[in-house]
Amino acid sequence: MNHKYKLVALAVSSVLLAGCAKNYDEANVVDVRVIALNDFHGALKAPGPNKPGGIEHMATLVKELKKDNPNNIVVAAGDMVGASPLLSSMFHDEPTIEALSLAGLEATSVGNHEFDKGMGELLRKQNGGCHPVTGCQGPTEFKGADFQYLAANVTVNETGKTLFPEYVIKEFNGIPVAFIGLTLEGTAAIVTPKGTEGLSFHNEAKTINALVPKLQAQGVQAIGVLIHEGAAQRRDGGPVNINACNGITGKVLGVVEQLDPAVDFVVTGHTHQAYNCTLTVDQ
């Protein structure tokens, strides 16, 4: 049989939720707006004068998009910090964590750059506290992220448990929707050894598929994935149509091809490319 997956990056996606049954009452369909971000890399300022970008511009867009549909969620697919400009990096990316929290981000997968400074520092970004070397650099102690980091395929060697929760569940008009978050399996190969010390990274598709029955047992009616792995369209010289999926290629496609049909959409990142595609996979 064929199964279709929604694949998005740097996009706004509307997802119609009606449970998993093929025959459903259209009166019970809920239109959910998924506002998806990725690879922000601490870009608090616009790239130049009179150019779009920066946290103020992005937060304003998010606010307007949320107005259009009260059934919404703001999610991300990793690398929201790390490899950041000086404005964020000189304060250990604390300004970006605070700004994203204020902008309404609710959950993000970890990306490879979240591990640049090691497990302890990433945990501090989630939970708060003063930096162990430079201390508190503001008038009050850094409180950490209001949003939730997700790391379904990252386990702590000492305990065997995931570094962060595997997923979050949010209800829209009474319909529970799960968002699984994970990073690329090859994270340890592209981060300094100290950054991933004490951690193991596991196969993306196997991790996602193992969670599906657990989520369904909790009554989850739709499943989305936030994954820090991506793709890119073929460029033919002209402007790129993000909805065209023109010759799209990338490692995340191999992950999608292996996913349980119960997965409804996949938010991606890592490649710094924009696309909004529907993929048909033979299963």
Average pLDDT, the chain: 91
| Dihedral over alpha carbons 257, 263, 265, 268 (to 10 degrees) | -60
- Convert the pLDDT of each residue in 86-129 to its tens digit: 999 999 999 999 999 999 999 999 999 999 999 999 999 999 99
Secondary structure (3-state) at 169: strand
- Convert the pLDDT of each residue in 222-279 to its tens digit: 999 999 999 998 888 888 888 888 899 999 999 999 999 999 999 999 999 988 888 8
| pLDDT (0 to 100) of residue 282 | 74
Ordered domains of the chain (ranges, CATH):
2-282 (3.60.21.10)
| pLDDT (0 to 100) of residue 26 | 66
More confident: 9 or 161: 161
Region 163-168 average pLDDT: 99
- Convert the pLDDT of each residue in 16-48 to its tens digit: 443 344 455 666 788 999 999 999 999 999 988
Rounded to whole angstroms, the Cα distance separating 199 from 136 reads 27
Contact 87, 95 (CB under 8 A): yes
The answer on pLDDT for 134 being more than 80 is: yes
- Convert the pLDDT of each residue in 188-234 to its tens digit: 999 999 999 999 999 999 999 999 999 999 999 999 999 999 999 88
